[in-house]
Amino acid sequence: MMEFLSLRETGEAAELPAVTLEAFSGQSNATAVRIEPGEDARELLPHLDRIALVEINFPSFGDGRGYSAARILREAGYTGELRAVGDVAVDQLSHMIRCGFDSFTPDKPLDPALVDATLALFPHRYQKAVDATRPVWALRHGQDHG
């Protein structure tokens, strides 16, 4: 059984079975989809209002294409659960969160204390991203995030 970590208050999408992107295209009732590396997340844009969960697979630590897929979906207005699955390591979590991921199913268990310590290590950010964190320069100058 793989570990599941969520930053959401409720895990309503946690148990949804995700279908492949190809299968999703042919179904009108699917509400969860899985994107593999090399697949185009933009194919989901016309359907964002009916998708509760998008899983994005990270088959290896060095494959960063999932970050782009997450950002594309969040910038297009996707508000459902965005889950990173696969070879997800502690040192990737903060970057994944900045791209819009809010849940994780890593192949190998993560130490919860290490996750908490890692996420608390840098409380401020310098760049704007799709997460709700206000950049430190905006905090310093009293500006809004957007």
Give the H or E element holding residue 32.
Answer: strand 32-35
Domain that holds residue 74: 5-141
- Residue 129 lies inside a defined structural domain of this protein: yes
Q: Which residues contact 112 (CB under 8 A, 6 or more apart)?
A: none
Give the H or E element holding residue 141.
Answer: helix 136-141
- Residue 89 lies inside a defined structural domain of this protein: yes
Backbone angles phi, psi at 57, to 5 degrees: -85, 135
- Residue 83 lies inside a defined structural domain of this protein: yes
Number of domains in the chain: 1
CA distance 50 to 17: 14
- Report the predicted TM-score, pTM, of the whole model to 2 decimal places: 0.80
pLDDT attached to residue 36: 96
Q: From 122, 121, 105, select the one nearest 7 (Cα to Cα).
A: 105
pLDDT attached to residue 2: 45
- Residue 126 lies inside a defined structural domain of this protein: yes
The CATH code of the domain that includes 72 is 3.40.50
- Residue 146 lies inside a defined structural domain of this protein: no
Give the pLDDT confidence of 41-51 residue by residue, as tens digits: 999 999 999 99
